[in-house]
Amino acid sequence: MNTKIRLDVGSSLQVIGERAIRHEIDGLAAAAANPYWDTALTLTTIYLNTYYYFYIRQDDTLKKTTLIDLVGKRVGIMKGNQHIRFILQQYPSIQVNEFDDNLALAVALVDNNVDLLLAENTLEWWRKNNTSLAFKIGGLLEGEHKEVSIAIRKDWPELIVIINKALAAITPEERAQINNRWLSNSSFNNAEPTVVLTAAERAWIIAHPDIVLGTDRQWTPNVQMTQNGIVGIEPDLLSRINALTGAHIRLELGDWTDMVARAEQGDLYGLALSVAHPERASTFLFTNSLYGATRYIFTRNDQKPSLHKMSDLVGKKVGLLRDNLSDKKILAK
């Protein structure tokens, strides 16, 4: 393009927006359509879809995540975010409180001056970089998203055309690489995922920063507790999944019956190792099969090794691990 476009990072979103309206700067690098910008700025084609998140205090929980659930609540937002302000105007009884920066947002939430915050993933970046453990993401705002464009002063229509041509020339692979670098959870630890995720999938991962799966503590070599933590096939597999997707999935070990019960009650997100079985179909969804496992018949040392196939077990008393549906599935045949 031979055009030099550079960024001017201002003291606050509010100040930058006001300067763009007055044409003291030539536009905004990221903006969403709303009547406020229409007076002075023109938007390029959309280059990014992003989402809004509810931030709550560490000990709080959030059961519902729609706009109507905010009615009567004190909601903190970033001053100058015209898109959020425009969305919240649908419900005048929402008590909107605006703050100048991320620090002010965090302090207001922790000090109980607001009930929750409604913000983008930039606040999560700030929270992690400032090691703030006093609040967390409580959920994704349902039914709303932000279509991000570049906003250019209205008297420069030529630049809109030029930028749109440049945006169209960026390949899907290049967009995916940029998005995964900066918009996934793994970007907080500088590990770039190599699986291309949709905007909705990335948003879901960010909204669920700690995913805990249950498994049986006895299932060596699948899992084994050591002085250095949990090792084995399952943690290695989950580590690779985390690296590829930017997710943070971890294991909790325990008695298998207890793990199943807790997963069914929603105390855990799921089970790290399970067989697809009708008894669990009403509670769980299943991924593709990870691997096959060989079943062995164990007998006393004084017994002859004459058991080789399922029919050899007919009439026998057979012991198996409680709630192991894989074994039940085999024996049901």
Of the segments 70-79, 188-197, 267-276, which one has the largest average pLDDT value? 70-79
Residue 328 has pLDDT above 70, yes or no: no
Average of per-residue pLDDT across 4-26: 89
Do 57 and 104 belong to one domain?
A: yes
Do 66 and 131 belong to one domain?
A: yes
Do 241 and 215 belong to one domain?
A: yes
196 assigned to some structural domain:
no
Do 44 and 112 belong to one domain?
A: no
Do 135 and 266 belong to one domain?
A: no
pLDDT (tens digit per residue) in 238-248? 888 887 887 88
pTM score of the predicted model = 0.57
pLDDT (tens digit per residue) in 182-223? 655 433 343 444 577 787 888 888 888 889 999 988 888 888
Residue 304 has a pLDDT of 66
123 assigned to some structural domain:
yes
219 assigned to some structural domain:
yes
Tokens coding 266: 């929603």
Residue 305 has a pLDDT of 62
295 assigned to some structural domain:
no
Do 118 and 71 belong to one domain?
A: yes
Which range is least confidently modeled, 69-83, 243-257, 311-325? 311-325
Instruction: Please name the amino acid found at residue 289.
Output: S
Q: Within 13 Å of residue 39, how many CA atoms lie on the same side as its CB?
A: 9
Q: Whole-angstrom Cα distance, residue 15 to residue 29?
A: 14
Q: Which of 99, 124, 140 is the last residue of a domain?
A: 140
Q: Which of 154, 169, 184 is the last residue of a domain?
A: 169
The answer, yes or no, to whether the previous bond of 221 is cis (omega within 30 of 0) is yes
Do 44 and 102 belong to one domain?
A: no
289 assigned to some structural domain:
no
Quote the number of domains for the chain.
3
pLDDT confidence bin for 92, thresholds 50/70/90: very high
Share of the chain above pLDDT 90, in %: 34
pLDDT (tens digit per residue) in 97-123? 999 999 999 999 999 999 999 998 889
Do 18 and 165 belong to one domain?
A: yes
Residue 321 has pLDDT above 80, yes or no: no
Share of the chain above pLDDT 70, in %: 88
Do 17 and 94 belong to one domain?
A: no
Residue range(s) defining the domain that contains residue 59: 52-140
Residue 192 has a pLDDT of 45
126 assigned to some structural domain:
yes
Residue 2 has a pLDDT of 63
Q: Which of 272, 294, 321 is the last residue of a domain?
A: 272
Do 28 and 160 belong to one domain?
A: yes
- For residues 44 and 257, the model is more confident at 44
DSSP structure string for 130-164: TT--SEEEEEEPTT--EEEEEEEETT-HHHHHHHH
Q: Whole-angstrom Cα distance, residue 163 to residue 180?
A: 22
DSSP structure string for 196-255: ---HHHHHHHHH---EEEEEETT-TTT-EEETTEEESHHHHHHHHHHHHH---EEEEEE-
Do 160 and 20 belong to one domain?
A: yes
Residue 308 has a pLDDT of 67
CATH number for the domain harbouring residue 247 = 3.40.190.10
Do 212 and 150 belong to one domain?
A: no
158 assigned to some structural domain:
yes
At 288 the three-state DSSP class reads coil
Residue 190 has a pLDDT of 39
